[in-house]
Amino acid sequence: MSDPYDVVDPVLIPWADAHGLTVQKVNMGVCARWVWLESPVPDATAQLSVRRAHDVGYRQVDDGRFTVVVRVGDWEHAADATPGTLASVLDEQLVRIREYAVGMTCFQAGQFEQAQHIFGEVVRLNPRFLDGLCMRGIALMRLRRHQEALDCFDRALALKPDFVEALSNRASALLELSRLDEALAGFDGALAVDSGHANSWNDRGNVLTSMKRFEDALESYDKALALRPDFPEAKDNRTNVLFVLGRMSRCPPAYMRSLFDDYSSYYDAAMVGTLGYRGHLNLRALAERVLPRLTPPWRILDLGCGTGLVGDAFKDLARGGRLDGIDLSPRMIEAARRRGIYDNLVLGDLETVLHEPGHSYDLILAADTMIYFGDLAPTFAGVAERLEPGGFYLFAVESMSGEGWERLPVNRFRHSEAYLRAEAARARLEFIEIAPCLLRREKTEPVAGFAVALQKPVGR
């Protein structure tokens, strides 16, 4: 794998390792080798180490946020340099390095406008500063200024044509600009330089997905995951493609997250106001029929709690018990939190969270959440684990006649009574009641559902 930075200093890396400092960045500047270490230099031992580094030719500058250790040497114009000019050139270089570090801080804090401005200044002072050029391009991409970003990557590549970060990010900018053929060629170019560049494999997959070349996209995501098995974006992208290809028995978490993050600000108005949504009310009516008492305290878990409509409909029963929620959309969770009625809200995929250690409940609810799952077996098993013996699981699904479940073109699922009964039996949950109900309207058409009550047998 090629190293875009040419030289990793043979003295400094072991020195930093030996003293517990994390080397964040190594670069060959025009004038000096420099290293940016985690900040601030943490303790007296490390301070001493920095002094030792001085002995092997390093100089330290600490501005309270970052420690930069610079090794004097490798001067481009060493012949012209007197000790005085060396010092001033070095100081100027340090100013740029510190500026770059400040730019990185802004970038990491999501202040992309400020970051791109600072990187722009750094690059104005040192037009050959590859990292500065590349980071400015990346910050501009975050600002969706893709054309300007392209210019930064082009300038970096004019200086170093095989700079893989610039090749890969340039291709990403082309993808954002929907210049798909060029983007694909760009990622192929980056991978020709470095076939181990996992980001490029993943982003190449995204180009192929945009081209609707789904099988090729899967291959590309697989390459990314072979290189970096714990690569969340590549995993999500792969799952999304499997879903498009109809090879998933549930909606993928990443797809749901972005759907409901977008929906969160107008969910209540659209669902209740426009679509006449009644899932939460159906569950409450079911509860009134099947629960042995309608007095608190109940320990309640709300699966796919969304903005908290279900919590609101059941909060009276949770008094003195608890009311928890799980949802995978951060914005929906925030909306639920604003109601001030939940004791604990967990951000995550409910299939996963249910199987993790946690509280037990007397009542688990899922209104309009199971419609995003075809195969209900993992959820039922998780619910059975989390219910107290004698506890209830009340949920609503879209209904169908016949057997099994089916996926609808609108990316939801519906379930037959026969399927629900079979899965409940498999999870050893007792089937208490199934009632046809109206969930909401789809455009003007009513959506028919089942409100279902299961119970974990007392003896389990």
Ligand X SMILES: C[S@@+](CC[C@H](N)C(=O)[O-])C[C@H]1O[C@@H](n2cnc3c(N)ncnc32)[C@H](O)[C@@H]1O
Binding site for ligand X (CB under 6 A): 253, 256, 260, 279-280, 304-306, 309-310, 326-329, 332, 349-351, 367-369, 372
DSSP β-bridge partners for residue 35: 26, 69
Which amino acid makes up residue 133? L
Smaller CB separation from ligand X, 68 or 305: 305
- Angle, CA 173 vertex, CA 258 and CA 201 arms, to 5°: 75
CB of residue 347 to ligand X, shortest distance in Å: 9
| Residue 1 DSSP SS3 | coil
Phi and psi angles of residue 430, each rounded to the nearest 5 degrees, phi first? -80, 135
CB of residue 411 to ligand X, shortest distance in Å: 11
CB of residue 337 to ligand X, shortest distance in Å: 13
DSSP β-bridge partners for residue 451: 396, 435
CB of residue 386 to ligand X, shortest distance in Å: 14
Smaller CB separation from ligand X, 131 or 368: 368
- Which of 446, 243, 263, 271 has the alpha carbon at shortest distance from 367? 271
CB of residue 373 to ligand X, shortest distance in Å: 7
CB of residue 310 to ligand X, shortest distance in Å: 5
Smaller CB separation from ligand X, 211 or 281: 281
CB of residue 423 to ligand X, shortest distance in Å: 17
Instruction: Look at the block and give the residue holding tokens 């309207």.
Output: 441
Smaller CB separation from ligand X, 40 or 358: 358
Interhelix angle for 309-318 vs 330-339, to 10°?
A: 40
Query: What is the 8-class DSSP label of residue 159?
Result: H
Phi and psi angles of residue 36, each rounded to the nearest 5 degrees, phi first? -110, 120
Smaller CB separation from ligand X, 241 or 254: 254
Smaller CB separation from ligand X, 81 or 438: 438
Contact (CB, 8 A) for 38 and 22 = yes
Helices (H), ranges, 245-376: 253-263, 267-268, 279-290, 309-318, 330-339, 350-354
Phi-psi map region of 16: left, alpha, beta (phi>0 left; psi -120 to 50 alpha)? alpha
Smaller CB separation from ligand X, 40 or 348: 348
Q: How many CA atoms lie within 13 A of 265 on its CB side?
A: 2
